[in-house]
Amino acid sequence: MADDADLKTLPLDALHRRLGARMVSFAGYAMPIQFDGIIAEHLWTREHAGLFDVSHMGQLLVEGEGAAEWLESLAPGDFKALQPHRVRYSLLLADNGGIRDDLMVTNTGKGFYLVVNGATKHGDIAHMQARLPAGITLHHMEDHALLALQGPEAVTVMSRFDLTPESADQPAFADLKFMAGARWLWNGIKLGITRSGYTGEDGYEISVPSEHAEALAEALLAHSEVQPIGLGARDSLRLEAGLPLYGHDLDPETTPVEADLSFAISKRRKTEGGFPGAERVLDQLFNGAARKRVGLSVEGRMPAREGATVWVGAEQVGVLTSGGFAPSLNVPIAMAYVATGCAADGTALEIEVRGKRIAATVVPMPFKQKNYVREGDKK
Amino acid sequence: MSRLYTQDHEWIDVAAKESGAEATVGITDYAQGQLGDVVFVDLPDAGRAVTKGGEAAVVESVKAASDVYAPVSGTVTESNPALADDPSLVNSAPEADGWFFKLTLSDASELDGLMDKAAYDAFVASL
């Protein structure tokens, strides 16, 4: 852990401490790892609504003529076809096709709003600045906090807030569907809200000016459905949802195909290429990659952790990149990269933990069925 | 019977301060609070020789695996069977039903360096 004196604080620091959080160092910031306990917080989020402070993440605005084309030179999404107020998951790729970061991209109507990982944001900004053409601006919204309200009751809670579209071209809040976003005014405060998240549940991510973050968090926590949730449960929730964590399940040596994130390569880009590492990535897409990210169900009760090796008999076929206990399923689960020949659902493997072999089986992800409310679903 | 504590937050109950005496080992309430929800405990088998300060068990919380060290050297005679069914006993009763294992002491003089309750409480308060 970094020396406390080196840690930066986030806008909700005082609130977290008041709520009894245990604070840890994460991405250079003091952040809450837990409040009541990871299992209780995890289960609360699956049943009700959890409030997460994710203000360590980088919020960026890309604006100017040709912004979509420029983003397409960095990431394999079809940003030219991304409609206003729609959100896409994408990947910032290195020249060799390795994943520099994963991110969410929202078309604001005026440009693009990006949310990148906290630990990688400064590297991302430097990478983008170095490639920024004339006429396009990159703005780091360092004066904004980011809150996530996640869980089946998030929609009920937000429906009680008086949210006015910021301008006539913004949709009504009640019409906001999964993977969409826009801006609203709450008590005169501008909020950028997307219906998205990192838990496998329905919910929202809310960008708020830092000076109003505590007032918004308090207003959300005032509802009986909402409890504060720490990073510990955020990790167990995303693992159950099969969502990769950058720096663990994704890194600069790993391509989107190996990471089983080919869905993030838009159809047009699969044909046209033109993104970093396209030759390698598209070759893997059409001819296969040597390894693949898979989900593993782990027999017994003993969790297997990141770094544990995966075996078939005497041959090592992979390594765990995430692993732990799944509170909603009450069993250990893991993500691993394994040789493609061992990646089919149902393949029996062994994981080595402290010199012992534990049986594991390749299973489809998510481990826990997602509860997203998609467009066309009954409200 | 007296209870002694280590700076690694294990406790040990000793029946008598003599080599060959039986002792029970667990982790303290402070330790379980730091670990958070315990989901699995990897316990030593009976017959295993453990060394003072050496790895004796592993306690798994949702978040991470943590080593538990032997407060003294000895031979394990039994591990707590209740923890296999209900590892959360480590959280709810760390200094009672959530004990980890029993051992016979091989060198009673190793107890001399351990803390009594007052000294351990003062140590925790200083953290």
Looking at residue A379, what is its pLDDT?
A: 41
Q: Looking at the predicted structure, is the pLDDT value of residue A127 above 90? A: yes
- Which CATH number fits the domain that encloses residue A26? 3.30.1360.120
B84 touches chain A (CB under 8 A): yes
Nearest CA to A273 out of A71, A72, A70 is that of A72
Domain ranges across chain B:
2-125
Q: Which of A39, A41, A45, A356 to mutate to test the interface with B (most CBs of B within 10 A)?
A: A39
DSSP three-state, residue A167: coil
Q: Which of A325, A351, A353, A357 to mutate to test the interface with B (most CBs of B within 10 A)?
A: A325
Q: Which residues of A14-31 are buried (b: 16+ CB within 10 A; e: fewer)?
A: ebbeebebbbbbbbebbb
Domain hosting residue A210, numbered range:
4-55+142-240
Burial zone of A306 (CB within 10 Å; 0-12 exposed, 13-18 middle, 19+ buried): middle
β-strands B38-42, B65-69 pairing: unpaired
Q: Looking at the predicted structure, is the pLDDT value of residue A377 above 90? A: no
A235 with A295, same domain: the answer is no
Rounded to a whole number of angstroms, the distance from the CA of B62 to the nearest CA of chain A is 5
Does any domain span residue A105? no
The sheet with strand B2-5 has its strands ordered as B2-5, B10-14, B22-27, B101-105, B74-79, B49-50
Residue A177 · residue A374 · CB < 8 Å: yes
Burial zone of A202 (CB within 10 Å; 0-12 exposed, 13-18 middle, 19+ buried): buried
Nearest CA to B106 out of B52, B57, B63, B65 is that of B52
Does any domain span residue A60? no
- Is the CB of B63 less than 8 angstroms away from the CB of A354? no
CA dist A237 and A219 (Å) reads 24
User: Nearest 10 degrees: CA dihedral of B59, B60, B66, B67?
Assistant: 30
pLDDT band at A372 (very low <50, low <70, confident <90, very high): confident
CA distances from B56 to A26, B6, B25 (A): 30, 14, 10
- Nearest neighbour of A39 by CB, restricted to B58, B62, B84: B62
DSSP state, residue A83 = P
A233 with A344, same domain: the answer is no
Nearest CA to A158 out of A194, A110, A131 is that of A194
Rounded to a whole number of angstroms, the distance from the CA of A238 to the nearest CA of chain B is 13
B24 touches chain A (CB under 8 A): no
ipTM over 0.90: no
Cis check for the bond before A11: say yes or no (omega within 30 of 0): no
CA dist B114 and A91 (Å) reads 54
- Total domains, chain A: 2
pLDDT band at A4 (very low <50, low <70, confident <90, very high): low
- Nearest neighbour of A303 by CB, restricted to B36, B40, B84: B40
- Is the CB of B65 less than 8 angstroms away from the CB of A232? no
Q: Which of A36, A41, A237, A302 to mutate to test the interface with B (most CBs of B within 10 A)?
A: A302
Percentage of chain B exceeding pLDDT 70: 99
DSSP three-state, residue B49: strand
Does any domain span residue A95? no
A51 with A148, same domain: the answer is yes
B63 touches chain A (CB under 8 A): yes
- Is the CB of A325 less than 8 angstroms away from the CB of B62? yes
- Nearest neighbour of A236 by CB, restricted to B58, B60, B62: B62
- Helices assigned H by DSSP within chain A: 13-18, 38-47, 67-72, 121-129, 154-159, 210-221, 231-240, 267-272, 278-287
Does any domain span residue A254? no
Rounded to a whole number of angstroms, the distance from the CA of A187 to the nearest CA of chain B is 39
Does any domain span residue A345? yes
- Report, as an integer, the average pLDDT of A336-343: 98
A173 with A297, same domain: the answer is no
A232 with A319, same domain: the answer is no
- Is the CB of A305 less than 8 angstroms away from the CB of B39? no
Does any domain span residue A260? no
B116 touches chain A (CB under 8 A): no
The structure tokens 């195909």 sit at A257
Rounded to a whole number of angstroms, the distance from the CA of B60 to the nearest CA of chain A is 7
pLDDT band at A1 (very low <50, low <70, confident <90, very high): very low
CA angle B43, B46, B48 (to 5 degrees): 85
Contacts of A42 in chain B (CB under 8 A): 62
B87 touches chain A (CB under 8 A): yes
Task: Tell me which chain B residue has its CA closest to the CA of residue A34.
Answer: B36
Tens of pLDDT, residues A13-22? 999 999 999 9
- Report, as an integer, the average pLDDT of A177-202: 97
Rounded to a whole number of angstroms, the distance from the CA of A280 to the nearest CA of chain B is 36
β-strands B101-105, B74-79 pairing: antiparallel
Q: Which residues pair with A103 in a beta bridge?
A: A90, A116
- Which CATH number fits the domain that encloses residue A314? 2.40.30.110
DSSP string, A292-357: EEEEEEESSS----TT-EEEETTEEEEEEEEEEEETTTTEEEEEEEEEGGG-STT-EEEEEETTEE
Q: For B2-125, CATH number? A: 2.40.50.100
Nearest CA to A197 out of A51, A379, A8 is that of A51
Q: Looking at the predicted structure, is the pLDDT value of residue A126 above 80? A: yes
B29 touches chain A (CB under 8 A): no
Give the lowest-confidence range in A213-217, A286-290, A338-342, A366-370.
A366-370
Looking at residue A358, what is its pLDDT?
A: 97
A163 with A307, same domain: the answer is no
Looking at residue A5, what is its pLDDT?
A: 62
Tokens for A141, please give them.
């919204």
* Residues of chain A that touch chain B, judged by Cβ-Cβ distance less than 8 Å: 33-34, 37-40, 42, 232, 235-236, 301-303, 305, 324-325, 327, 332, 354
Percentage of chain A exceeding pLDDT 70: 97
- Report, as an integer, the average pLDDT of A335-340: 98
